[in-house]
């Protein structure tokens, strides 16, 4: 894989992201990735709290609108994530934890879509109490995002190679 | 000469820096702050975070979870105040706020632990100043919300009613302030002295 990593690390965009001292390079990408995370996980948290009984007066179906913000957050993070990957491909792709993080995000998105299916069902959407299976899904969703966040944060501490030629730490 | 956005940014940042430094050089505060920070630095928690390999990453993860709780409650409520997702009844959605307070307290405690571990890294950090300012704006906004807007919440609680200007203002300021807090927080590492 090293020739592939070397090729990406030599791209002008990769060099600029890593080495430019401007605010608009790495710092901005990291800010986007953090704010995107807040909207992606935040929208899920609100929906999960409702499904688990945290705000009983809110009709389940009315929360469907927050999926727009969830997906907006996801796309901001897919975009900024690809930029971070272009900046440091070796760092992420040689770390097994990175694949764990991606897998958990994928499962989290699938669970969110299954939950959406429940919200849109007429009989569930108007009800006060969520059915047991929806509660279980909401609890799983919270756990999945906790793991995604933790693995994501740990990437900075568990990498072995920063670039093809340099090691981490 | 044209005055660009960058000049405004530089001027405002310089002004806040000067203000912060004048506060930092205020003897009375300095003496108290220094003795407090000395106490904090030598607390078991500060020591633990500095010496343990995994404590810092775990606390950071908790800090991000607190952020997600804040985003899932306060930010989603702000969006509702701005008129988004009008089918959600506002008084019922207000039940989210205790979860947001929990997220805020989680982040205050983990944040204080970070400051205990390396106080100088934060107190002389431009990004930290911005973060404190944004948190203050968010706090004042909450006070304005509960003293001026909250009582009239029922009036636009009905489905599909446009929120009044006061609610939109509070929602907009809060949303901007929290995005500011997150951005400044993420920038902390770039402004370490």
How far away is chain B from the Cα of A24, in angstroms, using its nearest Cα?
Answer: 12
Cα distance between residue A113 and residue A138, in whole Å: 11
Cα distance between residue B92 and residue B82, in whole Å: 16
Whether A43 sits inside 8 A of B88 (CB atoms) is no
Q: Which residues of chain A have pLDDT under 50?
A: none
Q: Which residue of A has its CA nearest to B181?
A: A35
Check: complex ipTM more than 0.85: yes
Q: Which residue of B has its CA nearest to A27?
A: B187
What pLDDT does residue A48 have?
96
Q: Which residue of A has its CA nearest to B190?
A: A27
Whether A153 sits inside 8 A of B57 (CB atoms) is yes
Per-residue pLDDT for B117 more than 80? yes
Compute the average pLDDT of residues B176-192: 93
What pLDDT does residue B25 have?
78
Q: Which residue in the set B70, B92, B190 is minimally distant from A58, CB to CB?
A: B92
| Lowest-confidence region among A41-45, B5-9, B91-95, B96-100 | B5-9
| Lowest-confidence region among A129-133, B55-59, B154-158 | B154-158
Whether A42 sits inside 8 A of B185 (CB atoms) is no
Task: Tokens for B43, please give them.
Answer: 């607390």
* Tally of domains in chain A: 1
Per-residue pLDDT for B1 more than 60? no
Whether A157 sits inside 8 A of B72 (CB atoms) is no
> What are the pLDDT digits (tens) for B16-42?
888 888 877 778 877 887 888 888 889
Q: Which residue of B has its CA nearest to A30?
A: B186
DSSP string, chain B: ----HHHHHHHHHHHHHHHHHHHHT-HHHHHHHHHHHHHHHTSHHHHHHHH-TTHHHHHHHHHHHHHHHHIIIIIHHHHHHTTSSTTS-HHHHGGGHHHHHHHHHHHHHHHHHHHHH-HHHHHT-HHHHHHHHHHHHHHHHHHHIIIIIGGGGGGGTSTTPPPPHHHHHHHHHHHHHHHHHHHHHHHGGGG--
Which among A34, A30, A88 has a CA at the least distance from the CA of B68? A34
| Lowest-confidence region among A103-112, B66-75, B161-170 | B161-170
How far away is chain B from the Cα of A41, in angstroms, using its nearest Cα?
Answer: 6
What pLDDT does residue B148 have?
82
Per-residue pLDDT for B82 more than 80? yes
Whether B88 sits inside 8 A of A57 (CB atoms) is no
On average, the pLDDT of chain B sits at 88
Better-scored residue on pLDDT, A39 or B90: A39
What pLDDT does residue B101 have?
96
Cα distance between residue A66 and residue A44, in whole Å: 8
Whether A58 sits inside 8 A of B88 (CB atoms) is yes
- Structural domain boundaries, residue A56: 2-167
| Lowest-confidence region among A33-37, A135-139, B3-7, B92-96 | B3-7
Interface test with B, best of A153, A154, A156, A169 (most B CBs within 10 A): A153
Whether B93 sits inside 8 A of A58 (CB atoms) is yes
């Amino acid at each position: 894989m090293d020739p592939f990593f070397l090729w990406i690390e030599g791209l002008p965009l990769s060099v600029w992201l890593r080495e430019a001292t401007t605010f608009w390079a790495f710092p901005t990408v990291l800010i986007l990735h953090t704010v995107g995370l807040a909207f992606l996980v935040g929208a899920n948290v609100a929906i999960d709290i409702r499904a688990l009984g945290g705000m009983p007066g809110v009709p389940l179906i009315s929360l469907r609108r927050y999926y727009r913000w969830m997906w907006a957050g996801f796309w901001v993070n897919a975009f900024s994530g690809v930029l971070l990957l272009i900046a440091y491909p070796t760092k992420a792709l040689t770390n097994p934890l990175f694949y764990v993080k991606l897998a958990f995000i994928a499962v989290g998105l699938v669970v969110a879509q299954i939950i959406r299916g429940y919200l849109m069902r007429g009989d569930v959407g108007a009800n006060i109490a969520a059915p047991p299976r929806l509660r279980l899904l909401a609890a799983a969703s919270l756990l999945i995002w906790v793991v995604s966040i933790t693995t994501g944060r740990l990437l900075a501490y568990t990498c072995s190679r920063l670039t093809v030629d340099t090691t981490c730490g | 000469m044209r005055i660009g956005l960058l000049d405004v940014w530089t001027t405002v940042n310089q002004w806040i820096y000067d203000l912060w430094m004048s506060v930092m050089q205020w003897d009375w505060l300095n003496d108290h702050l220094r003795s407090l920070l000395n106490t904090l630095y030598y607390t078991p928690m500060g020591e633990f975070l500095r010496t343990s390999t995994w404590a810092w990453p775990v606390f950071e993860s908790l800090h991000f979870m607190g952020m997600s709780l804040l985003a899932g409650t306060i930010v989603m409520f702000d969006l509702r105040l701005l008129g988004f997702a009008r089918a959600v009844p506002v008084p019922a959605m207000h039940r989210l706020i205790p979860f947001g307070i929990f997220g805020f307290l989680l982040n205050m405690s983990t944040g204080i632990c970070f400051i205990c571990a390396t106080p100088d890294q934060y107190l002389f950090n431009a990004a930290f100043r911005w973060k404190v300012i944004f948190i203050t704006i968010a706090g004042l906004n909450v006070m304005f919300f509960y003293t001026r807007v909250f009582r009239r919440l029922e009036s636009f609680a009905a489905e599909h009613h446009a929120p009044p200007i006061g609610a939109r203002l509070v929602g907009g300021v809060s949303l901007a302030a929290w995005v500011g807090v997150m951005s400044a927080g993420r920038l902390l590492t770039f402004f370490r002295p």
